[in-house]
């Protein structure tokens, strides 16, 4: 595995590659969820590039940019064990200049996650577009846990006519059901226990739908009932375009939940 720090290094190497390139963009603090993306990329591409970059433009004032977990040495080892070909670890000054061409996310970026974090998705799309330009991947891998982010990246690729296949990947969970997240380390033992109500509520919703219940209000109320002890930020039932729906449509519905544990926000979802 080769570790690259500059855009020029990666671009020069990319010019020599004529086979399929799989790309996994991350912010580091790699866990089994990231590893599942890398392994999928490894099985589907001749060359795999992983980036680790904590992107400042997607953090709002007062969020955890400075405290965001960084585990560079452990991350390097994980990538090496996963047989990554190139690990791109740029500095902020490498990725951004004093004056930037800005990316404006579409209207659906200002609901749900975007309502809580206005401007967040502008920063996400900005850095993803930069990374796509540098790596020029054949396939790029993103987890379904960040469902709204995934939807916006798919739209960006479509709207900007980028020749990249976006590969959505399933959520990876702990044995007890908690969705993996780099921010889980912020939870106290008691909060970690309470957080299991999130996945429990989604499993219960899925079971209700499997029995034939397609009324979104009834399903939503079941989730709220289970999550009642938590500080719930939102529960939403939407179609794949992120329009709120009254009737659950099989193979076209996402149920999203977010709960807050002091300063830590945990999001989870299921795709119906």
CA 111, CA 204: separation in Å to the nearest integer? Answer: 25
Q: Give the chain as a DSSP string.
A: -EEE-SHHHHHHHHHT--S-EEEEEE-S---HHHHHHHHHHHHH-SEEEEEE---GGGSPTTSSTTTS---HHHHHHHHHHTT-SEEE---HHHH--SS-------GGGGSTHHHHSTTHHHHHHHHHHHHHHHH--SEEEEETTSHHHHHHHHHHHHHTT---EEEEE---B-TTSPBP-GGGGG--HHHHHHTHHHHHHHHHHHHHHHTT--BHHHHHHHHHHHHTTSEEEEEEEEETT--B-SB--TTSEEEEEEEEETTEEEEEEEE-
β-bridge pairing 21-26 and 2-4: unpaired
Please indicate whether residue 31 is annotated as part of the active site.
no
In the block, tokens 């994980």 appear at: 78
Catalytic one of 34, 40, 117, 120: 34
Report, as residue numbers or ranges, the catalytic residues: 34
């Amino acid at each position: 595995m080769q570790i690259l720090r500059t855009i020029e290094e990666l671009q020069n190497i990319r010019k020599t590659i004529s086979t399929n390139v799989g790309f996994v963009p991350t912010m580091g603090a790699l866990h089994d969820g990231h590893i599942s993306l890398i392994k999928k990329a490894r099985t589907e591409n001749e060359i795999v590039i992983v980036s680790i970059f904590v992107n400042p433009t997607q953090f709002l004032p007062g969020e955890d940019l400075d405290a965001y977990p960084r585990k560079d040495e452990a991350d390097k080892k994980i990538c090496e064990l996963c047989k990554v070909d190139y690990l791109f670890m740029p500095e902020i000054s490498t990725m951004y200049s004093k004056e930037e061409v800005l990316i404006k996310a579409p209207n659906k970026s200002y609901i749900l996650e975007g309502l809580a974090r206005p401007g967040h998705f502008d920063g996400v799309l900005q850095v993803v577009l930069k990374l796509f330009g540098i790596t020029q991947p054949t396939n790029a891998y993103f987890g379904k846990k960040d469902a709204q982010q995934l939807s916006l990246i798919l739209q960006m690729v479509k709207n900007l006519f980028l020749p990249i296949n976006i590969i959505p990947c399933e959520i990876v969970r702990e044995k007890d059901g908690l969705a993996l997240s780099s921010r889980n380390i912020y939870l106290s033992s008691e909060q970690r226990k309470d957080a299991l109500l999130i996945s429990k509520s989604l499993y219960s919703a899925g079971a209700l739908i499997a029995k034939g219940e397609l009324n979104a209000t009834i399903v939503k109320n079941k989730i709220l009932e289970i999550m009642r002890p938590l500080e719930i930020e939102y529960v939403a039932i939407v179609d794949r375009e992120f329009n709120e729906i009254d009737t659950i449509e099989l193979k076209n519905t996402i149920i999203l939940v977010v709960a807050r544990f002091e300063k830590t926000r945990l999001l989870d979802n299921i795709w119906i």
